[in-house]
Amino acid sequence: MYSQGWLLIGWVLVIIGVLARHGFAFLIGFIVLLSAGASYLWDRYCLARVEYRRSFTPRRAFYGETITFTMEVTNRKPLPLAWLEVIDELPQELELLKGRVIPSTRQRRQHLVNLFSVRWYERVRRHFTVRCNARGFFPLGPARLRSGDIFGFTVRGADVDKTDYLLVYPRVVPLDALGFPALHPLGDLTARRHLLDDPTRIVGARSYEQTDPIRRIHWKATAKSQELRSKLYEATTSHRFAIFLNLDTLGKYAEYRGFVRALLEINILTAASIASWAIEEGHLTGLYANGYLPQGLRWIRIPPAPGSTHLATMLEALAKVFPTPVMPIGDLMQLEATALPWGTTAVVVTAVTDPPLAAGLSRLREAGHGTAVVLVGDDADAGGLPHPYYRVSADRGWKALEGLDLRAEGTA
């Protein structure tokens, strides 16, 4: 609107109006110059001192829950904005229950579009309800602001590169909804509440017995007494669980070959539900997975510990984990076998079975640990696996993932 051609026309009309004493020509020229000046002013300063921020409540949610997404625009100048368009980028896994969204050129992304006017020194907030349709660690942003002159002839844009993150925990369901026995979900491995030795708490020494493993020998006491002595541990009733999650859903160590999303999500759902159940029962529970987190390429390793805070740590890891396995799950089990406290129950959640898995189970039993295998899906072969093992069918797992209560159907 403020191009040289319009300015020239405006000045010509003003000069003609003055020289010819033609009021109409002068008025038209003056309006053209005034409009050009206003257009220039809005085009240059429309996005100056305009701030945009986003927030969501709560900042962490579970799969299937809804959150409140809030966008806020503040105009910190005396120049009002006749129109302002805000385009914010969101992941497709967040379903906007009300509002306008358009597809993005980026994979699995969408744009939330809002158009409104902002007066001088005004703050505008808009609230949206969003449903979390997947677990994950989702980036929100960047955003783009667009505005222009009051006549709509010029448009100016600015990018807001700030990115916020929303953590969505995996869904947690009762184990009987997945087909586990209601009374003792993992059989006799957890039904026995007798006293166990806690290797982390040494209270003295006793005479060595031939059945004692080498790592139980108390070398300082042996040197002092000149005879073999074994460590005496404090007794505890807390059972230890180590959940081994296999992120390989294709078999034969499927690194860089993709994954089956349905099996992957049911795997994570099952592991999260077992961890939640074990923590609620008062057991020390740990999580090991052959996937890596955004912070690095090392596999997930969370040693057994009690408490809701520890459960939140495990659920956060399951929310953030990448689906690419860094090693066969059997190799991870062999690596961790000797590091686990003696007598730990290792629960392996997997959608595929292979020789490394069998070798890892054997190594765990040799190290003095109990084992249980949870097969996810209908195609996982149970042949050659030690007992006990359990199966979560694809149909039951998927319906549990979608939030349908299957406990009335009984166990599978």
CATH of domain 175-194+237-409: 3.40.50.410
pLDDT digits (tens, 9 = 90+) for 339-388: 998 889 999 999 999 888 999 999 999 998 989 999 999 988 887 776 67
Q: Is the pLDDT of residue 174 over 90?
A: yes
**For residue 386, cis peptide bond before it (omega within 30 degrees of 0):** no
Rounded Cα distance, 407 and 304, in Å: 29
**pLDDT reported for residue 121:** 95
| Non-local CB neighbours of 5 within 8 Å, separated by 6+ positions | none
Rounded Cα distance, 342 and 370, in Å: 9
**pLDDT reported for residue 230:** 85
Rounded Cα distance, 135 and 351, in Å: 19
Stated as kind and residue range, the H or E segment containing 6 is helix 4-19
**pLDDT reported for residue 7:** 61
pLDDT digits (tens, 9 = 90+) for 95-130: 999 888 999 999 899 999 999 999 999 999 999 999
Residue type (1 letter), 75: N
Q: Is the pLDDT of residue 254 over 70?
A: no
Stated as kind and residue range, the H or E segment containing 372 is strand 370-376
Reported confidence tier of residue 5, pLDDT bands at 50, 70, 90: low
- E strands along 104-163, which residues? 109-118, 123-132, 136-140, 143-148, 155-160
Question: Could you give the percent of the chain with pLDDT greater than 90?
Answer: 50
**pLDDT reported for residue 410:** 35
pLDDT digits (tens, 9 = 90+) for 273-312: 999 999 998 899 999 999 988 877 688 999 999 999 999 9
Tell me the average pLDDT across 6-15: 65
What is the crossing angle of helices 261-280 and 308-320, to 10°?
A: 170
Q: Is the pLDDT of residue 250 over 70?
A: yes
Average pLDDT, the chain: 84
More confident residue, 248 or 5: 248
Tell me the average pLDDT across 26-44: 72
Tokens 């020289």 found at: 19
**pLDDT reported for residue 218:** 85
HSE-up of 355 (CA within 13 Å, CB side)?
1
**pLDDT reported for residue 408:** 38
More confident residue, 223 or 200: 223
pLDDT digits (tens, 9 = 90+) for 64-87: 999 999 999 999 999 899 899 999
Rounded Cα distance, 188 and 371, in Å: 11
Tell me the average pLDDT across 219-248: 81
Q: Where do the structural domains in the chain lie, given as residue ranges?
A: 50-169, 175-194+237-409, 196-235
Task: Please tell me the class of the 50-169 domain.
Answer: mainly beta
Rounded Cα distance, 399 and 412, in Å: 14
